[in-house]
Amino acid sequence: MAITASMVKELREMTGAGMMDCKKALSETNGDMDAAVEFLRKNGQAKAEKKAGRIAAEGLCRVAVSGNTAAVVEVNSETDFVAKNEEFQEFVENVANQAVKSDASDMDAFLAEAWIADGSISVKDALIAKVAKIGENLSIRRFKKVVANEGCVVSYVHGGGRIGVIVEAKTDVVNDSVKAAMSNIAMQVAALSPKYVSDADIDAEFIAHEKEIILAQIMNDPKESGKPQKVIDGMVAGRLKKELKEICLMDQVYVKAEDGKQTVAQYVAQVAKELGADFSIKSIVRFETGEGLEKKEENFAEEVAKQMGM
């Protein structure tokens, strides 16, 4: 199929690879975007999970906490100007308060609920009214509710609402010291963006897929592909271990560690011992405003086409 400038643009923003590499990947995969991403990763021209790294859309994340329940929401706006608007910020706060009391399992059900600030209208009606008043397109993009039945939750909002975090702990002691430790971990989650609490949360399919990608990268490198299979297997295992340490919270180096070596798992164990508590991190949620969304860039496709002679 014909490879268009807009396709190249989309793949480039998903992967961070060069324009010509993106064009080649699309040509090799007959325009299949997912297959093109895999092609670039296997050839070492794209980083894993880069798709979510281009933060572009405007808006805010907010977290509401009620007892042992917390909810984080993301509400998007077209411009940063509106995101700083007091009325918009108040609306996002209300959406978060709605989410923490909601029993909705998906966005459609959430939008259909009665708006807690005015029971005569729905959440969707409240959103439409706010769009009309502010004069800019707004979107309640996502929400996540966490109920701590065996401990407690803490929240953290960074950058004025750019990042919203919930940390849930399983603990038989709930006091200020426990919550302070959880707040430290919430800041860790905001800063280093782990995807899992520990490697026990990662499914076998993900592991197998990452091994396949790493092996393809090695086999596409002339300096490494000729090594004995035993050595290659060791390289795959080593690179996978390094990758998992970056995306698993418990394996990350604790950002406030005085020696620069203590892991989050060791910090949690230290807190548990000091407080005499059965204390562990059960789940984490991290929302970043605009994560995975693309901000419109005028004439970018035309620029790509011009450079590629398309």
Give the count of domains, the chain. Answer: 2
11 plus 62 within the same structural domain: no
Give the domain extent around 10: 1-54+294-310
66 plus 179 within the same structural domain: yes
* Amino acid 294: pLDDT: 60
Name every residue whose Cβ is closer than 8 Å to that of residue 199 and which is 6 or more positions away in sequence. 244, 248, 251
29 plus 124 within the same structural domain: no
- 152: helix, strand or coil: strand
139 plus 49 within the same structural domain: no
64 plus 181 within the same structural domain: yes
- Amino acid found at 41: R
Successive 10-residue mean pLDDT values, the chain, 310 residues: 87 79 91 87 60 56 97 93 92 97 96 91 93 87 97 96 97 97 97 93 88 90 87 89 88 90 96 97 96 58 48
CATH number of the domain where residue 193 is located:
3.30.479.20
129 plus 10 within the same structural domain: no
- Residue 240 is assigned to a structural domain of this protein: no
* Amino acid 14: pLDDT: 76
Q: How many residues does the chain have?
A: 310
Query: Cα 210–46–249 angle (5° rounding)?
Result: 50
- Residue 83 is assigned to a structural domain of this protein: yes
32 plus 134 within the same structural domain: no
- Residue 149 is assigned to a structural domain of this protein: yes
Q: Where would I find the H helices in 169-228?
A: 176-192, 204-219
Q: Which two tokens stand for residue 215?
A: 């092996």
- Amino acid found at 306: K
- Residue 213 is assigned to a structural domain of this protein: no
- 299: helix, strand or coil: coil
- Residue 120 is assigned to a structural domain of this protein: yes
